[in-house]
Amino acid sequence: MTFAYFLNVFLMLALVAGMAVGTLWLMRRLQPGLGSGGRERAIRVVDAISMGAMGARLVVVEFEGRRLLVGVTRGRMDLIAEGAGDFAPFIDDGA
């Protein structure tokens, strides 16, 4: 094996790694709620949990200082509960 071959392999590996990092950065930048995005958002998803195989989810959304518990299915969204946004999150200490 020659030096040119190893140089070619190293450059191709660096190119593929750079493309992977660039793709991950771009995905994080373009998807709402994942990155900083450079601007303040009016609505923030605090937490979400799947409720089964049919795609139903419970989502906690923060809007104007309030936290809303929303049930989300494929064809519908329902407000389940509303609370103040100034409470501390639940911390499970394993006890």
Q: Give how far Cα 54 sits from Cα of 21, 51, 74, 77, Å.
A: 33, 8, 8, 14
Q: Each residue's pLDDT tens digit in the chain (95 positions)?
A: 799 999 999 999 999 999 999 999 888 877 765 555 556 778 888 888 988 878 889 999 998 888 999 999 888 999 999 887 555 555 555 55
CB contact at 8 A, 59 and 70 = yes
Q: Are residues 30 and 75 in the same domain?
A: no
Question: What's the domain range around 61?
Answer: 42-95
Count of structural domains, the chain: 2
pLDDT at 5: 92
Q: Are residues 31 and 46 in the same domain?
A: no
How far apart (Å, rounded) are the C-alpha atoms in residues 41 and 48? 18
The predicted model scores a pTM of: 0.50
Q: Are residues 29 and 56 in the same domain?
A: no
pLDDT at 15: 97
Q: Are residues 71 and 32 in the same domain?
A: no
Going along the chain, which residue ranges are E strands? 43-50, 57-63, 66-72, 77-84
